[in-house]
Amino acid sequence: MVDALDSLSRELLERLSVEKARPGATPSTHLVGGIVKAGAKLEALLREVVKRVAAAERVAPETLLTPIGGRPLTLHKAMAGPLAHGLKNHFAAGRAKTQVPAVQPIVDDLCAYDSRILEFIRMRNEVAKEGREPRDAHIATKRLHDLLLAFRKDAGWG
C-alpha cells in the first residue's frame, strides 16, 4: 500500500520539476496552466495533511479550517489558501494538542515567517487571478520544489 503523503508529495514534486525546467521562452499561457496545475497538487497534499492532523487531534477536519467567527468550510471544498492558513492558525495559536511527525516539516514551513508554501499560494493566486507575469512565480516554484525534496528525503521516499 502506497502512503498518501508519499504519493501526493511525489506528484507535486514531479509537477514542480516540470515547471522549474520550462524554458524561458515558454508561452505565458503554458506557464499559467502549469502553475495552476501545481497549485491543485499542493491543494491535494494540504488536504491530506489536514486529515492527518485532524485524526491525531481527534476532531473533524473542518474544525481546523473554520476561522474563529468565520463561515464553516468543508474539507472537500476548501482551497489551498484556507487549508494552509487553517493549519498555520491551528499550530501558531497553540490549539494543537499533539504533533504529527509525518507532516511536521510542512507544518513548520507554514508557521515560518517566510513560508515557501504560503509564498507559492500567493504567487499562484496573483498569476491566475490578478494577471501577474507568470515568470515571476519561478522563485516561489523553486523554493517549494526544494521543500518537497527535503520533505521526501527526510521521510525516506528519496
| Residues in Cβ contact with 20 at an 8 Å cutoff, skipping those fewer than 6 apart | 138, 141, 142, 145
Provide the residue type at 3 as one letter: D
Provide the residue type at 50 as one letter: V
Could you tell me the sign of the dihedral formed by the alpha carbons of 35, 36, 38, 39, in that order?
positive
Domain span including residue 141: 4-155
Whole-structure pTM value:
0.94
Based on the structure, what is the number of domains in the chain?
1
How would you write the pLDDT of the chain (158 residues) with one tens digit per residue?
A: 569 999 999 999 999 999 999 987 889 899 999 999 999 999 999 999 999 999 999 999 998 987 766 777 899 999 999 999 999 999 887 777 888 999 999 999 999 999 999 999 999 999 999 989 998 999 999 999 999 999 999 999 97
Could you tell me the sign of the dihedral formed by the alpha carbons of 48, 108, 104, 98, in that order?
negative
| CA angle (44, 88, 13) in 5-degree steps | 35
